[in-house]
Amino acid sequence: MSQGQQIPSATRLGPGGDIAPTPQNTPAAHLSHSVMSRSQVPDTLSEEQEEDDLPTISTQGAQGLAGLASNPAFASLIEGRLSNLVGRSSGYIESLPAPVRRRITGLKGVQAEHQKIEAEFQKDMFELEKKYADKYRPLYQRRRALIEGKEEPSAEEIEKGEQAEEEETDDEDDFGEEDDEGNVKEKEHLPAPTEEELAAAPKGIPEFWLTALKNHLGLSELITERDEEALKYLIDIRLEYPAEKPGFTLIFEFEQGAKAFFANEKLEKTYFYQDEVGYEGDFVYDHAVGTKIDWVEGKDLTVKIETKKQRNKNTNQTRVVKKVVQTDSFFNFFTPPQIPDDDDEEIDDDIDEKLELDYQIGEDLKERVIPKAISFFDGSINRQQPDFDSDEFDEEDDEDDEEDSDEDEDEGPRTGRKAPAPPSGNTPASHQDPQE
């Protein structure tokens, strides 16, 4: 199929008996190989061939599919050809009479008005979001006071918390913690502490935010052991909205212990939206700006020092060469990826993935971690996911594996990998075994 060729379409009778082309949608995604495979039927039959011995359309198609699927050159060719057709007109609209095409243009005018109303809707929703952020603020301030140990929970807060724990246990069913007999344990009702107990206990809730971040299945992958030494001093993550243009700001505040790593008292990252909403009516992410971290010398967690020995061939003397290289760290979050100036497609694909991941992290912190921090801290938000820690699902998976093993006996054994269970959240993150 040449680049300029159209995919052939069926025909039908139009007004007046003329042949009009059927509306043809250009493929918006690559077709599978099966669409492109065709059965091959011989033109003539030899006298020695019996009809029953002839390959059928289905068997020929299956054989052709197997051959094409194993040919990467053919697959690449087809994908390349189809990608050139994406977005191209089939010619149907252009073939319509002028009055019909004029009506189509009118519909686009109606749609333009619809988009204006959608834009107003999104802007009103954004203002409503900011309004309720102000209502949440006193609750977040109270949460911070309890985490830092500046205040103790009231009797009313304890009572409401115990009710929430009971409801949580009921909702979790067999996902709750079990005793030796397999019964779900009841939550312990803690009496008010004595003065001696308060004096002996640590202040507030140690490593609250570090543990909450570690219990987020995505963020935990970004946090290294070196990062934990600084993140254990994180005392609050809060949300604000910039005044100059649409977007949101995440503010990470640290206590004095973090001064051993950087001079900043807080680290911020702001995600900006484009001024105009997109075609679907949603705000479109534009770019992000993060705080420049003022690292203490030798404490930069985003780099590591590689040391190499070099020997002079003539004098046989050796010297030590140190090189600073970038390394994985949660604190790279505050240096968002930037769009390069060149037009290298491979670089563009790579940067698109990084931009998408970076924005998703920000959205998760805004929409899930900040509002539900306690649920991430104690791990209950993960235990409520039925995909994890469920014996039933494990058994079903085992049965499927056994069936697959029986069916594919001749092909050799298969190996499977089970998804790891989420962290329990019962111990501070810096005290957890990383292998768990």
Domains in the chain, start-ordered, CATH in brackets?
59-87 (no CATH), 115-172+204-401+422-431 (3.30.1120.90)
3 state SS of 179: coil
Cβ atoms within 10 Å, residue 262: 19
pTM above 0.75, yes or no: no
- 295, β-bridge pairs: 262
Query: pLDDT band at 372, cuts 50/70/90?
Result: very high
Residue where the block lists tokens 């494990």: 394
Residue type, 213: L
Q: pLDDT for 128-159, tens place per residue?
A: 999 999 999 999 999 999 999 999 999 999 99
Instruction: For residue 45, give the nearest of 34, 53, 37 by alpha carbon.
Output: 53
Tokens linked to 27: 């493929």
Query: pLDDT band at 318, cuts 50/70/90?
Result: confident
What are the helix and strand counts (H, E) for the chain?
13, 8
356 vs 373: CA distance, rounded Å: 23
Tokens linked to 97: 């009479």
Q: pLDDT for 82-134, tens place per residue?
A: 666 666 778 899 999 999 999 999 999 999 999 889 889 988 999 999 999 99
Backbone Cα Rg of the chain: 31
Is the pLDDT at 427 greater than 60? The verdict is no
User: Please, what is the angle between helix 57-69 and helix 72-83, to 10°?
Assistant: 90
Is 232:252 a contact under the CB 8 Å cutoff? Answer: no
213 vs 236: CA distance, rounded Å: 12
Is 122:277 a contact under the CB 8 Å cutoff? Answer: yes
79 vs 31: CA distance, rounded Å: 8
Name all contacts of 62-71 with Cβ < 8 Å and 24+ positions apart.
64/37, 64/38, 64/39, 64/40, 65/33, 65/34, 65/37, 68/33, 68/36, 68/37, 69/33
Tokens linked to 106: 């009118």
Measured in degrees and rounded to the nearest 5, phi and psi for residue 29 equal -145, 165
258 vs 230: CA distance, rounded Å: 6
22 vs 91: CA distance, rounded Å: 10
Q: How many residues does the chain have?
A: 436
